[in-house]
Amino acid sequence: MRFKRGPYFTYTFLAIQIVVFILMELVGLKQGIYSGSEDVGILYQFGAMTHAAIILDGEFWRLVTPIFIHIGFFHLLLNSLGLYFVGRILEPLIGHTRFFLVYMLSGIFGNLWSFAFGSSNAISAGASTSLFGIFAAFIILGQIYKNHPGIKYMSRNMTLLILMNLVMNLFDSGVDIMGHFGGALGGLLVMVIVGVPSNRLGFNENIDWKKRVIALIFFLILSVGCFYKGFSI
């Protein structure tokens, strides 16, 4: 039972991004590059997102692969710590399948948002889009479990964390604020869509099915809209 309820998708995602980072560094060393994970060519080779690759070459998989790629050690460290501490709480709370969907779909949605509204000359990578998604998931959980003090506390903290990060992103040109915003928005929508397991935490509460359908429609419309907006740049 402990294994079943353990956060093994959290650990799997952590392992993937660490292995990818090590491989990028090894490729860099082989080519005589000090930090392979910060080299544009190696980033591109491993699947970082660029507008040109998606628009001109049709490499749509680059909307997914950036989730597991990081630019430099500290980028990896910060995102890994965020995933470790938040994922270990969220995954056992909402279940493995829901956590997987929130994490991956938030990341993809954030990359789509960046593709539509971000810089067309930038190269994007990092799990931040997914992390903002799982941060935002706690906002929805705070609305579902209104009478649970621990969840309400996490919900307030995550709301503050998202807002503080977005404000700081405004003053850092090297950060993909559009990806972060899109990831948070995606997390809100996907968390509403998937809902929560029944009778979790002693509460038999969930999201009304009509709200879930509306969230799904919004998610699909915004995803398609971002896709077409990206091609119009």
128 is catalytic: yes
For residue 97, how far is the Cα from the chain centroid? Answer: 15
The pTM score is 0.93
Whether residue 204 has pLDDT greater than 80: no
Output 175 or 215, whichever has higher pLDDT: 215
Residue 48 belongs to a domain with what CATH number?
A: 1.20.1540.10
Quote the pLDDT of residue 226.
97
Domain count, the chain: 1
* Options 114, 130, 180, 223, the catalytic residue: 180
Domain extent, residue 149, equals 2-231
pLDDT at 4: 53
Name the catalytic one among 37, 106, 128, 155: 128
Q: Nearest 10 degrees: CA dihedral of 142, 148, 149, 154?
A: -30
User: Average pLDDT for residues 44-49, to the nearest whole number?
Assistant: 97
Per the CB < 8 A criterion, the answer to whether 206 and 145 are in contact is: no
- Region class of 16: left (phi > 0), else alpha (psi between -120 and 50), else beta: alpha
Q: Report percent pLDDT > 70 for the chain.
A: 94
Q: Is 180 a catalytic residue?
A: yes
Q: What are phi and psi of 176, to 5 degrees?
A: -85, 85
Q: Which of these, 49, 165, 52, 155, lies nearest to 110 by C-alpha position? A: 49
